[in-house]
Amino acid sequence: VEEVRKAILSYDCPHLVITGGEPMLQQMELIPLVSSLKQQGFYFEVETNGTIPPLPEMERDIDQWNVSPKLGTSGNREHRRLVPSTLESFSSIPGAYFKFVIVEPQDIEEVCELAERYDIPPQRIILLPEGRKLEVLRTRNQWVSEACVKHGFRFSPRLHILLWGDERGR
């Protein structure tokens, strides 16, 4: 932990985003690191798929949760992608935002159902159109952004695709 902490402190960047495969699998290892850096004024975000709830010690020090549950069009089975007790836990955290990747219009219906079921305020829901090709994104951006206006959700374009296409490493 100390070696990682020193490496982080060597950068002039007090805003950290913890991401990866699923960072919640490493909560026990992350807690002392996050706690130590939090005392030095660091701001933390965690990106998670929302299937593993945060431990109280982890929840205490995280400023923002970016929860990205998979929708039905992801191809994952519902019992693997949606854990009701965990989604309820995250929805009760004021700093939790729910990001959904949108492929089809039916995804928006599913997001609305999840928002109602788990009492997620619309201003904490962010829709991201799926796509790696500019033409696909242009079309999806249009109808997804219209759905955001209609339901009071936030919209996030895939800016890196709009700027550089599907080029890796940018």
Number of domain units in the chain: 1
Higher pLDDT, 12 or 152: 152
SS3 content of the chain, % helix, strand, coil (to 5): 50, 15, 35
For residue 10, tell me if it sits in a domain.
yes
Each residue's pLDDT tens digit, 21-67: 899 999 999 999 999 999 999 999 999 999 999 999 999 999 999 99
The pTM assigned to this predicted structure is 0.92
Structural domain containing residue 27: 2-164
Distance from C-alpha of 114 to C-alpha of 83, rounded to nearest angstrom: 11
Mind listing the pLDDT tens digit for each residue in 149-160? 999 999 999 888
Residue 62 lies in a domain: yes
- State the CB neighbour count (10 A cutoff) for residue 56: 8
CATH code for position 75: 3.80.30.10
CA–CA dist 129, 121 (Å, integer)? 20
Q: Is the residue at 170 inside a domain?
A: no
Inside any domain, residue 169: no
What is the per-residue pLDDT for 114? 98
Q: Which two tokens stand for residue 148?
A: 């955001």
Q: In a 3-state reduction of DSSP, which class is residue 73?
A: helix
At residue 118, the pLDDT reads 97
pLDDT-based confidence at residue 103 (cuts at 50, 70, 90): very high
pLDDT of residue 8: 96
Q: Is residue 33 included in any domain, yes or no?
A: yes
Residue 170 has pLDDT above 80, yes or no: no
Average of per-residue pLDDT across 11-21: 94
CA distance 107 to 66: 18
